[in-house]
Structure 1
Amino acid sequence: MLRTTLAGLRMHTGRLVATALAIVLGVMFVSGTLVFSDTLEEGVDSQVMGSASDFESIVTPEEGAGAPADAEPPLTPELLDRIEGLDEVASASGTIQGDTPVLDKDGRALGQTPTTGISVDGDTRHTAATGELPSADDEMALATTTAEQAGYEVGDEVTVLGGEDAKHTFTVTGLIDFGVESPFAFSGGAAFTPQTAEKLTGKEAFSEIDVRGAEGVPPAEVTDAVAEVSGSGAKAQTGTEMGEELAEQSGAQVQMLSIGLLLFALIAMFTAAIVIYNTFAVLIAQRQREMALLRCVGARRGQVFRGVLLEALIVGAVSSVIGVAAGIGLGTAGFALSKESLGAGGATTSLVVTPTAVGLGVLVGTVVTLLAALLPARKATKVSPLAALRTSAAAAGMEKGIGWLRTGAAVLLFAVSACMTVLGQNVGQEPGLFLTVGAAMLAFLGVVVVGPLIVRGIASAVRLPMRAFGVPGKLAADNSQRGSRRAATAMIALTIGATLITGYAVFSSSMQSTMEEELAEQFPADYVLNQQFGTEDFEQGGIPADVVDRLQDSEEIAGAYSQRSEPVSMAGEPATAFAYTGAELGTDLQGSVVAGELSEVGPGSVAVAENMAGDREVGDTVKIGPAPEAAPADEPDTSASEEEQRSYTIAAITPATGAMYGITMDPDDFSTAFPDSDTAQSVYVTAAEDAATADSREAVNDAIAEHPTIQVQSTTEMKEQFEQVLDIAFASIAAMLGLALVIAVFGVANTMALSVLERRRESAMLRALGLSGGQLRRMLSLEAVLLCLTGAGIGVVLGVTFGWAGGLVAFSDLVLTIPIAKIGLFLAAAVVAGLLAAALPAHRAARTSITGALASE
């Protein structure tokens, strides 16, 4: 039986090529992801841990590495002196860390948050990847990411803010690769001499103290000695322990990326499993006489079953090994491309190929192949020995009716799916998402069950329009209807990818429409001004009054109104009160309302967000006072006292999201309640109607020229940035799902190739009756296109349905948008895929000798 199986494999090698390619691609994705993540994680760990493990001990505040010092900082210069005086210590150095806003070449502060500055000396755990660390007070080093963002290089002069926003100029002597270490990965980084860092940040305490042990003293003993003198506010640990802690913090995004890639790899393997199942099902159906002959010469059912599984085992194992080899190359390429974007540029570039990556790849590919071949192998055992006497080897068994039982089961699945979808809209977000995903899976299962009936219905429906292609079109529709079960199985793989891509496209487009609508509501102006988050100016109030005055005096600006906010207490509940100076609510500042009118908000009245209003209605009175944390310390109750509370009439109720998400007060009432709050957190700017965009932007830039930490965003820029993020996300997801679609197209091509082999005499008969070779090619191409369009079309319907349903669960106010252009492009790609899938089988069919094919049976 073994020799028979091996001989069969040699005989049918060509028919298994597409199956092998599907396995190779799926395993390549799995192994490539594992190699990529292992190599990247090893590089990050080596970089982060290496910088810390060079020291015997590292001391940090109890809050964690890099945490800012408290009012009474534990890591003081006095503590550094005590550590340096220990017998177990050879040397110790402290690192000062704080905000040091770096200006770009236009004189504006980089980023939404200030650059994190640190002190470095001759013995620090951070080293220069390019150039040298600063050694003079007028020198600095930049993080590689910061330098790239601003376009700075070694030797350039850079301006940094420090000490009441005074500007200081430094020469860049080197670049430091901080990798994904927090907080530098988010805010960027800069390094200075200790004296300069203290001057810029205004801090004397350290964020960490790095300790080198005396010769021959173990790290644990050094750490114990350091811990004894550090006190309760500090944490001493060995350099290795510190490195592991930093690596764990820094490796989170690598792990998330790996999980996401593995999810797409599983989708690819599932698609490959469908292709494998379909291939073996068709092969078994075509080899009925061969199986029957084996039974006639004494082979038992179990031997036939094991023979088919042995074929699957060999194909799966060989293909998996090839897939693992391809995956190693894919992982290497992925790591090389992602080093800079993930901040691992200074990490090791040596490839990490673990036994898990190799073993799991081979195991997954082989097991999936075996599982996919189980059902066809079981069907092979049911072939009667009498089948060997039949003169036709046609796979009639593939095209039995689907039966009322299967139809009823499909209807039940669709009904349950619909109920779960509706229920998902009426429960919480998390259970709603689970219900929606479950509903999508049930609907997909229903398509699998009733797929042949769907194919027959579509083939019957398109029979009339297919006549436009002449006889080949009519024959293609008839063949699709006749081979509906096989076509349905082949299209399922394509339906998976189509559902996922369309679903995300609907969600992405709906999110874009929703955000554009919310931006129009939240930012009813052309420009929005905010302080760089985390700066001293931000903490002290925000936008200076002179900026607003300059904007209001400009001819290019129609209006500038400031937003002030303060924490308050409404009926004992914490809230935030807002006031908009210089704007007429309902005119200059527009927004959605649930009840009432924004224009009615004036002295003695407020607008309240819906989630805070509760059972209150327009016209009701509500008491508002200082926030609980602002109440006098000797009050037994933390809420505001009766004397501090003021009564206001509710003039409007607004949605919980949008610009009016808290309590909106009249500016005069706000000033009375909070006399010390006179600085704007944000400023909204409207350009004059006849002002060009460039002129209004220049006017805004002139107004903030003396305040480099003020950030300017236009609503157009915000929309473009958000659209760009969504487009990149869609392109990335579509690219990763593209592998599943490629596998699905291989499946369609394989189905067409096997169908051509099975219908060899039929095709020859058509040729003998006058069908030309070109018409035969056109007929097969139309069959493949119809199959691909059917699979893609079903996927589009499922994707639109559940993409919209899932989006509504995640965001109740989602604006449904169907991306017609993207869906149309996807359907056009399905047509191209069908033509490509049929190209080789159709070419072979057209070149087959008519007499040879008629004489083959």
Structure 2
Amino acid sequence: MLTLALANIRTYARRLIAVVLAVLIGTAFLAATLMVNASTTASLERSIGESYQDADLVAAVDWDRFAGGDSTGALTRNDVRQAGGVPGVQSALGYDVDPIRASAGEKTVAAGLAEIPGEPWPAPEITEGDLPTRNTQVVLDTESAADAGIAVGDSIELLTEANADPVTVTVSGLTEPSMNPMTAANMQIYGLPKLLEATLTAEQQQQVGAVHLMLDAGADTAAVASDVSAAMADSDAGPVSVKTADEQVMAEVNQMTGGNQAITLVLMVFVLVALVVTGLVVVNTFSVLLAQRIRELALLRTIGASRGQLNRSVLVEAAIVGFVSSLLGVGAAALIMSGLVAYAQTMPEASFVTLAIPLEAVVVTTVVGTLLTLAAAWWPARKATRVAPLEAMRPADAASESQRLGRVRIVFGAVLTLLGAAVLGLGASQGQLVIGFAGGIVSFIGLLLLAPLFVLPAITWIGRLTGRTVPAKLAALNAVRNPSRTAATATALLIGVTLVTMMMTGAQTAKATFDSRLAGEFPIDTSVDGSMAGVELDADSVATVSALDGVESAILATAVASDESGMPVYSADEAELASVLNDPSLVPGPGEVTVPQYVTDDVVVPTADGTTTLTAVVSQSVGLPPVVTSETAATLGAEAPDHPAALWVKAEPGVDPAAALELRTEIAEALGVEEFSVSGGLVEKGLFTQIIDGLLMVVVGLLAVAVLIAVIGVANTLSLSVLERTRENSLLRALGLRARQLRTMLSVESVLVGVTAALLGIILGSAYGVLGVQSALGTMATTVISIPWLQLAAVLAIAIIAAWLASVVPGRRAARLSPVEGLASE
């Protein structure tokens, strides 16, 4: 049977290309996922391990056993001394990086200040300049120095809580930036112990993040670790763990990655989708291939081959194809990952990225790909080899088989669909994501089981819209001649399009929902608090900000009164308030005051004649101060408090939300204030949109793999269908159908399947996306349905183009064959 299988592979190699491509892409996705997890772990080990590379043991707070109470959760210098006094410990180092701010010229950045240790601990490796020799000198990392324009010999100022005035120090040298993700984001500053004593608070000087231990030569690591643990058992910090450096690194890596390969579990969802679609393509391909080889199989039966032998030969053929395709998939994944890692290593912030190709990635991928191909080929093989020899030798048109859906499948699919829809509706109505997710999965499985019931009628109905020409009519008829294969092909594409549409619609609806919620919570796009900024804002400030690109309007809100609690009440012209408030209903009327959500009663304002009560218009914002119109302020007669004015800004419609952070920086620079004093809903929306757009890009990219495999399935099915209908197509040519019309017929047939699957996928995906957002955010905000019509139109256009391209090669092959040659073929 092995000889027969190899012969069939050689004979039908071109027809197996689609199987090889589908399995290759699916297994490459699986292998890449496993490599991503391994590479992430290896990269974190490399980056986090940098902090512990010189330590034999590391003592740190054991957060798994930490119970709070009287424990402080912070190790101290006393703990360092306790650990250092244990026999076998050569030296104990209190490792800590204290957060400070550093100022160079007009730029102030966040920084981390660490001590340069003494012998026997190695000092930072200097790349330029020298180590500090005085307490007024520091070493910086090269990347932060370059960003801030700082060179060796320059002076910088350290801003800390311990000193009201900045501490001026000189940069004596530069060192390589840290690869530890916990510290790499900030400027890294290293100084002598006396500098830390002069710049840090007493509490900061006493606390340490971890205790690094260097052991005597020949010391028993396990025994010393046990003794250190006993010596630190009564630490005020709480329970302390003592691990080797490698064990501590792995503990932190597990904490950062979820401890159970969380990255892999998330990606596996998309891998599963790709593998399911791959399985459908393999089933289709082997179904058509074996239908074409019925006569060959029957001939083998007549010369003595048993049904089991034929079945085994087909499965061996599938196993070989699956095994080779899986190995190619592993190789493709390794090449892609190597390229991505090489590119990442060119960026300074990702220089620690490491490629890891674990053995289990190779083994698991190869086994899964082989078993998937075997499982997908099992049913077509069993069905083909069950045909009696004499029956198979009779002339038959396999393409015209009429296949009906089994009653059990219909009932089971209907039950799953209705049950899942009910659960999904329950999750959406109660805002329960877990319930909604479960209902969505169950209902989608049910719909896939029932797919032939609505896919084939949809193809027939859409086929009527293709025109009354002969090629169009023939295409509509051919598209549904083999219901089972056509439904399976369309279903493969339906899965991918549904999931892509679901993510697009879900993301768009989620953004619209959050925009609505943010409009209520942040009625003002951007505001500058004069008190927080420490500047006096005036009409010139308004003019300066109004001139910036992306700003629609800006107004000055001045404090005109205070309520009984001393909270300032701001005022602005009614028209000005209407121009900046995102919710027009929050513009106060005469005798009204708009207040934050925590103010539930009317506002009483002390005046020269007593008090005045203003009717509260309660907003959903927690940051919007009480505000009245200028007309109402004029009637109060209250004494204006000594409180700086605020600048309120509204962005232009259509401003790219991702540019919100840039606008914040521009406003801060224009007014000469720190960025933290510029806040508002536009910034929040920009941050949210950046995150959701990034996640959407990744998810749609992952799901595009499934769509690509499905398109390969469409091309493969049409190609095999053309081979199967060689005599029929040649007869049509003999009856007068021109080559161009034959190509048109095949193109329309392919596009019909693609358009139908895409339209149904868009409808289902949009419904799932909206209900998914309602399930996830229903308890947080009122869902605002927003359908990304342009994106969905792009999905439909891509499906049409891909389906048309899938028909080009089969159409040319069919058109090149002369009618005489086609009619003579078997």
Return the TM-score normalized by structure 1. Answer: 0.77
Alignment of 1:531-680 (within 5 A): 544=531, 547=534, 549-550=536-537, 554-556=541-543, 558-560=555-557, 581-583=569-571, 658-660=620-622
Aligned to 1:637: none
Match of 2:304, SS state, is coil
Deviation at 1:811, TM superposition (A): 1.1
Pair 186,71 (structure 1): closer, same or farther in 2 beyond 3 Å: farther
Aligned to 2:15: 15
Residue ranges of structure 2 left out of the alignment (5+ in a row) = 544-553, 560-564, 604-612, 629-640, 653-659
Aligned to 2:374: 370
Aligned to 1:270: 276
Alignment of 1:797-816 (within 5 A): 797-812=763-778, 813-816=782-785
Matched, 1:437 2:440: yes
Aligned to 1:94: 94
Aligned to 2:648: 685
Match of 2:799, SS state, is helix
Select 1:836's aligned residue among 795, 798, 805: 805
Select 1:356's aligned residue among 354, 357, 360: 360
| Contact persistence 1:128–1:177 (CA under 8 A) | no
Deviation at 1:751, TM superposition (A): 0.4
Deviation at 1:200, TM superposition (A): 3.4
Matched, 1:756 2:722: yes
RMSD (Å) for aligned C-alpha atoms: 4.6
Aligned to 2:57: 57
Q: Using the alignment, how far apart are the partners of 2:26 and 2:314 within structure 1?
A: 22
| Count of matched residue pairs | 767
Aligned to 2:394: 390
| Contact persistence 2:489–2:714 (CA under 8 A) | yes
| Contact persistence 2:496–2:703 (CA under 8 A) | yes
Aligned to 2:252: 246
Matched, 1:237 2:242: yes
Deviation at 1:253, TM superposition (A): 9.6
Q: Using the alignment, how far apart are the partners of 1:767 and 1:145 within structure 2?
A: 71
**Residue identity opposite 1:370 in structure 2:** L
| Contact persistence 1:600–1:652 (CA under 8 A) | no
Aligned to 1:116: 112
Deviation at 1:735, TM superposition (A): 1.7
Match of 2:242, SS state, is strand
1:591-645 deviations in whole A, cap 9, x for unaligned?
Answer: 8799x99779989x98757xx99xxxx99x9xxxxxxxxxxxxxxxxxxxxxxxx
Pair 221,406 (structure 1): closer, same or farther in 2 beyond 3 Å: closer
Match of 2:398, SS state, is coil
1:715-745 deviations in whole A, cap 9, x for unaligned?
Answer: 5555445434333322222222222111111
**Residue identity opposite 1:478 in structure 2:** L
Match of 1:101, SS state, is strand
Q: Using the alignment, how far apart are the partners of 1:367 and 1:503 within structure 2?
A: 30
Aligned to 2:267: 261
Matched, 1:334 2:340: yes
Aligned to 2:738: 772
Aligned to 2:315: 309
Matched, 1:825 2:821: no
Pair 773,548 (structure 1): closer, same or farther in 2 beyond 3 Å: same
Q: Using the alignment, how far apart are the partners of 1:819 and 1:465 within structure 2?
A: 27
| Contact persistence 2:22–2:278 (CA under 8 A) | yes
Deviation at 1:167, TM superposition (A): 6.3
Pair 841,3 (structure 1): closer, same or farther in 2 beyond 3 Å: same
Q: Using the alignment, how far apart are the partners of 2:681 and 2:618 within structure 1?
A: 25
Deviation at 1:856, TM superposition (A): 1.1
**Residue identity opposite 1:495 in structure 2:** L
Deviation at 1:460, TM superposition (A): 3.4
Pair 717,750 (structure 1): closer, same or farther in 2 beyond 3 Å: same
Aligned to 2:455: 454
Q: Using the alignment, how far apart are the partners of 1:194 and 1:271 within structure 2?
A: 62
Deviation at 1:503, TM superposition (A): 0.5
Match of 1:237, SS state, is strand
1:425-445 deviations in whole A, cap 9, x for unaligned?
Answer: 233514433344235424xx3
Aligned to 2:486: 487
Pair 815,484 (structure 1): closer, same or farther in 2 beyond 3 Å: same
Alignment of 1:695-774 (within 5 A): 701=669, 705=673, 708=674, 710-713=676-679, 715-716=681-682, 718-774=684-740
Deviation at 1:809, TM superposition (A): 0.8
| Contact persistence 2:42–2:356 (CA under 8 A) | yes
| Contact persistence 1:36–1:332 (CA under 8 A) | no
Deviation at 1:133, TM superposition (A): 8.3
1:547-597 deviations in whole A, cap 9, x for unaligned?
Answer: 3643588453622479xxxxxxxxxxxxxx996642589967968799x99
Aligned to 2:216: 214
1:51-99 deviations in whole A, cap 9, x for unaligned?
Answer: 425323334456699xx9x998975556656665666343333334322
Select 2:304's aligned residue among 284, 298, 309: 298
1:159-181 deviations in whole A, cap 9, x for unaligned?
Answer: 54233362646538335544354
Pair 294,805 (structure 1): closer, same or farther in 2 beyond 3 Å: same
Deviation at 1:851, TM superposition (A): 1.1
Q: Using the alignment, how far apart are the partners of 2:483 and 2:535 within structure 1?
A: 71
Pair 427,144 (structure 1): closer, same or farther in 2 beyond 3 Å: farther
| Contact persistence 1:144–1:175 (CA under 8 A) | yes
Residue ranges of structure 1 left out of the alignment (5+ in a row) = 531-542, 563-576, 622-647, 667-676
Deviation at 1:522, TM superposition (A): 2.6
Q: Using the alignment, how far apart are the partners of 1:83 and 1:446 within structure 2?
A: 64
Q: Using the alignment, how far apart are the partners of 1:148 and 1:790 within structure 2?
A: 56
1:25-76 deviations in whole A, cap 9, x for unaligned?
Answer: 11111112222322332232244335425323334456699xx9x9989755
1:643-689 deviations in whole A, cap 9, x for unaligned?
Answer: xxxxx9996676xxx415999899xxxxxxxxxx9999x96634799
Select 2:132's aligned residue among 128, 132, 135: 135
Pair 181,237 (structure 1): closer, same or farther in 2 beyond 3 Å: farther
Deviation at 1:801, TM superposition (A): 0.5
Match of 2:716, SS state, is helix
**Residue identity opposite 1:119 in structure 2:** E
Pair 396,700 (structure 1): closer, same or farther in 2 beyond 3 Å: closer
Match of 1:298, SS state, is coil
Aligned to 1:640: none
Aligned to 2:548: none
| Contact persistence 2:455–2:757 (CA under 8 A) | no
Q: Using the alignment, how far apart are the partners of 2:263 and 2:380 within structure 1?
A: 37
1:447-480 deviations in whole A, cap 9, x for unaligned?
Answer: 443426522433334324333xx43223222211
Aligned to 1:400: 403
Which stretch shifts more, 451-460 or 163-172? 163-172
Select 2:425's aligned residue among 422, 426, 445: 422
Deviation at 1:483, TM superposition (A): 3.5
Deviation at 1:373, TM superposition (A): 1.5
Aligned to 1:538: none
Deviation at 1:313, TM superposition (A): 1.4
Q: Using the alignment, how far apart are the partners of 2:623 and 2:257 within structure 1?
A: 36
Deviation at 1:188, TM superposition (A): 6.3
Pair 364,157 (structure 1): closer, same or farther in 2 beyond 3 Å: farther
| Contact persistence 1:752–1:841 (CA under 8 A) | yes
Aligned to 2:655: none
| Contact persistence 1:490–1:747 (CA under 8 A) | yes
| Contact persistence 2:25–2:709 (CA under 8 A) | yes
Alignment of 1:76-87 (within 5 A): 76-77=76-77, 80=80
Aligned to 2:634: none
Aligned to 2:633: none
**Residue identity opposite 2:41 in structure 1:** E
Match of 1:426, SS state, is helix
Which stretch shifts more, 248-257 or 491-500? 248-257
Match of 1:482, SS state, is coil
Q: Using the alignment, how far apart are the partners of 2:137 and 2:270 within structure 1?
A: 47
Q: Using the alignment, how far apart are the partners of 2:499 and 2:591 within structure 1?
A: 47
Percent identity over paired residues = 29
Which stretch shifts more, 146-155 or 414-423? 146-155
